Every structure is written in structure tokens, then in C-alpha cells.
Amino acid sequence: MSLASKVQFQFMKDLGAPALMALGKAGKKKRPHKPNPDFGPPLKCATRLKQIMTRHYFLARYARGARPVAWVTSGAPAELLRAFDFYTIYPENHGALCGAQKMGTKLCQAAEEHGYHPDLCSYARIDLGHHFTGLTPAGRLPRPDLLFASNNICQTVLYWYKALAHYWNIPLLLFDTPYNFRDITDSDISYMAAQLQEMIPTLERVSQKKFVMERFQQIVQLAHDTSALWGRVLATMKQRPAPMTIFDAFVHLAPVVSLRGLKVSHDYYQLMLSELEDRIGQGIGAVTNEKKRLMWDNIAIWYKVRDYAELFASHGMNFVAATYTNAWAETIHYLDQAQPFESMARAYGLVILNNNLNHRLNLMEQMIKDYSVDGLVIHSARSCKPYSVGQYDMKRLLMERLGVPSVVIEADITDSRHYSEEQAQVRLEAFFEALET
């Protein structure tokens, strides 16, 4: 780490970022808001979210040389990196941003031009396309000093990060999580906890910082509390009318993914929860005429989030639950600062995509009951094969058990070339008819 880079980073943190926030506020006042009668008032905390994430990506431009930088998969236990003061970038979050900004297809094509197959996860292709072109809606991403991946979400991340490690000639740490065919075992926990402990010398060498157990334990506790708050945020949608939608949650998920283990993330969800509880007290719904309550399965179709939010709201339908957003709260109760390595192994080893399909089926059934769900929308995502496997069987079984109308939308998380508006429209019209009759 160089002194000049540290001084520049601190200057941007203390003066540059606040100036950028002030400029953004001034620009926002000039744009009139056009309310949609199908929605209640927008969440006020969204302004704070934009500030946090804009600041995060802005400071990332100046992090290299001032802080150790790591690129991290969404399922990896970033709490360990926080103990060494790593500045973390999440390529999947960046991929979602590119998808929402309609840049996904262009970056995917750039990766394909370098030999990567179109069937590869579009998050991976976006990230590799960014490597080849430097294009990003975030301005500029810092080159990492280290890559940190976990295969608890899929195996693709390992090969994706291996490619990046090859291009940049930097260390890659893998947190290998045995798949839970039935129940997690003590030997599984020991195997995973030992891996985390064995990473410490590499993290010390790259960061030039010594590991301090007390600080690590504090970070684990903060991550636990932050994710627990996120769970309470999601639970507000059990109320009728729900004070927010899953389309809101897709966006407001960013801090618990990218900034978990940092105070700014914890403080943000306290702010958000307070606002949602206030809306519940006043009877303010996210959808003004909430007649039907829906659940979403799989990752969002990022380039269609706004379109789908408006379409379903126009039918008086509100998404109040999703397996994807729930994943960041489901296993967090396992985190325990008294046993940080073992508890992290359990929390990260039991995430939904590392668990058997029977677990997922039972989870979806319970969520349908808890959130009073009337209908299920399943996104069969071309990119995310581990998330999409078995969906048609689960659709059939849930309809048999609960009689909940369901529809499958075949698309991709960020690559719009794999989405058919006509096919989706036909299926959704039949779904709307089944719910409204």
C-alpha cells in the first residue's frame, strides 16, 4: 500500500464523495416526479440507498493501493475479509447493475468475441466482458489484489474466477462447501471451518495486516445483526397491504450483499425498517389496490424489473416474497461470534442453492403460507442452472399441495437476447386469468 494512494483515498472519502452526493442532490431536484397511480408513495430511504451505493462505487476507483482490494462471489463469507480491511467488489452485484442499465447484452457479446460460450452464466460473461473492454455503468472498477470465491451457489464461479486469476496473475481463495443431500454433518463443518482458518496467512500477506480475533468476532456479530435486520425488513411484507414489494427488495438487497459486516449497512436497514413500520402503522401499501399477493422464485430479470413491477401492479398484484431475497436472511441465525469459524461454515454451507431440492420445496411451501401468497411466478433463468433445476417439478408439487396458480417465465438474469416478450405475455395472460377468476 502506498502513502500517496492512501492520502488520495482519504481525500476522496472525506471531500470527494460528499461533494458528489451534494451534486447528485442538486440534480435530483430538477427532475419532476411522475407518480404512478398503481403505486403508493415511493420509499424515502431509497435516496439514502443511492447515496451509499454511489459512494461505494465512487471510492472503489481510488481503493487500489490504499486498501487491499478483493473481488468476491455473493455466497462467500466476506466477514473474514473485513477483518483485514479489504475493499470488496461483488461482480454479481455489478452484473445486476449492468443488466438494469441495459448494458448486459453488450458486455456478454464482448466475452463471446473472446471465445466464451453464450450458454455461460451472463454474470460471468458480463464480468469477463468488462475485463476485456473496461465498460461499466459504475465509472471504473479497481483491479483486485485477491479473488475470493465460494461454490455454495454454483460451480461456475470457480472457473470464472480461475480465468480472472489467470489474466491478472493474482491469488484465488476458494471456500469449498459440500452439497447438502440430506443434512449437514460435523465433518462437513470441520472441513469448512478449517479452510477459513487456513486462508489467514494468505490474507495477512496480501493485506499486510495481522489477523485479530476480537475484531473478527465483532464483524461477525455486526454481519449477523445486519442480516437479521434484513430478515425483519422482508417480514414486513407479511402485512396486508404490504408496505413494499419484492421489486423494491431486489434493489434494497445491495447493502446486505456488498457491505455486509460494515456499520453503514446495519444503519441503513435500521432506517429502512423504521420507515416500513411507519407505513404499516399508517396503512400505506406499496401497491394501492393490493388484491392478490405473489411470490417470485429465482434471481430477478434485471432488465425487466420496472416493467414487471408496473405490469403486476396494474392488475392489483403485489410480490410479497421471493426465495432469492430470503436467501440473505434464511441461515443468518447460525452466525455466532463465540464460534466464528464453525458458525460461518454452517451459515454459508446451508444456503438455499447448496441445499437439497426437498429443503427448497418445503421452504417455498412455508413462505407461501407465511406471506399469504395467492400465486407463484417462477423465473427459469438460462444463466443460473443450479437455481432453475427442478422448477417445473416444484411448480407441480406446490400446485398439488396448496392449489396455488403458477407460471414459469423463461428468460435470463441480464442477457435480454434470451427473453421473448410474446411468449412471456401469453403465459402471463393465462396466469392473470387464473388468479382473477
pLDDT digits (tens, 9 = 90+) for 356-397: 999 999 999 999 999 999 999 999 999 999 999 999 999 999
Q: Pick the residue with more confidence: 183 or 347?
A: 347
Q: Is the pLDDT of residue 437 over 80?
A: no
**Angle at alpha carbon of residue 113, lines to 112 and 115, rounded to 5°:** 65
- Are 199 and 242 spatial neighbours (Cβ–Cβ below 8 Å)? no
Residue 67 is predicted with a pLDDT of 94
Q: Whole domain around residue 88: which residue ranges? A: 3-436
- Count of C-beta atoms within a 10 Å radius of residue 2: 10
Position 41 pLDDT exceeds 80 = yes
C-alpha cell at 289: 389496490
Query: What is the phi/psi pair of residue 233, to 5°?
Result: -60, -50
Residue 145 has pLDDT above 60, yes or no: yes
Q: Supply 260's cell numbers.
A: 455486509
Looking at residue 32, what is its pLDDT?
A: 57
- Maximal CA-CA distance, the chain: 68
pLDDT in tens, 170-196: 999 999 999 999 889 999 999 999 999
CA gap 379, 410 in Å, rounded: 6
The yes-or-no verdict on residue 54 having pLDDT over 80 is yes
Q: What does the DSSP 8-state code read for residue 262?
A: S
What pLDDT was estimated at residue 104? Answer: 95
Least confident range from 20-34, 116-130, 315-329: namely 20-34
Measure CA 203 to chain center: 24
Look at residue 26 in the predicted model and tell me its pLDDT: 62
Q: What confidence tens digit (pLDDT) does each residue in 200-225 have?
A: 999 999 999 999 999 999 999 999 99
The pLDDT, as a whole number, for residue 25 is 66
Does the pLDDT of residue 316 top 60, yes or no? yes
Q: In the structure grid, which three cell numbers stand for residue 44, read together?
A: 424515502
pLDDT value, residue 340: 97
**Mean pLDDT score, 137-154:** 94
> pLDDT per residue over 389-425, tens digit each?
999 999 999 999 999 999 999 999 999 999 999 999 9
Q: What is the pLDDT of residue 22?
A: 77
pLDDT at site 394: 95
- Mean pLDDT for the chain? 94
pLDDT digits (tens, 9 = 90+) for 240-286: 999 999 999 999 999 999 999 999 999 999 999 999 999 999 999 99
Q: What SS3 state is found at 194?
A: helix
Count the residues in the chain: 437
325 touches 47 (CB < 8 A): no
Q: Higher pLDDT residue, 25 or 311?
A: 311
Q: What confidence tier does 33 reach under pLDDT thresholds 50, 70, 90?
A: low
Categorize the per-residue pLDDT at 31 as very low, low, confident or very high, splitting at 50, 70 and 90: low
**Please, which pLDDT band fits residue 323 given cuts at 50, 70 and 90?**
very high
Q: Is the pLDDT of residue 335 over 90?
A: yes
Identify the sign of the CA torsion 71, 75, 76, 82: positive
Question: Pick the residue with more confidence: 97 or 17?
Answer: 97
Q: In what order do the strands lie in the sheet with 292-297?
A: 317-322, 292-297, 375-381, 406-411
Report pTM. Answer: 0.94
With the CA atoms of 235, 239, 245 and 251 taken in that order, what torsion angle do they form, in degrees rounded to the nearest 10?
A: -30
How confident is residue 226, by pLDDT bands cut at 50, 70 and 90?
Answer: very high
Task: Tell me how far apart the alpha carbons of residues 206 and 195 are, in angstroms, rounded to a whole number.
Answer: 17
Number of domains in the chain: 1
Cα torsion at 264, 269, 272, 274 (round to 10°)?
A: -110
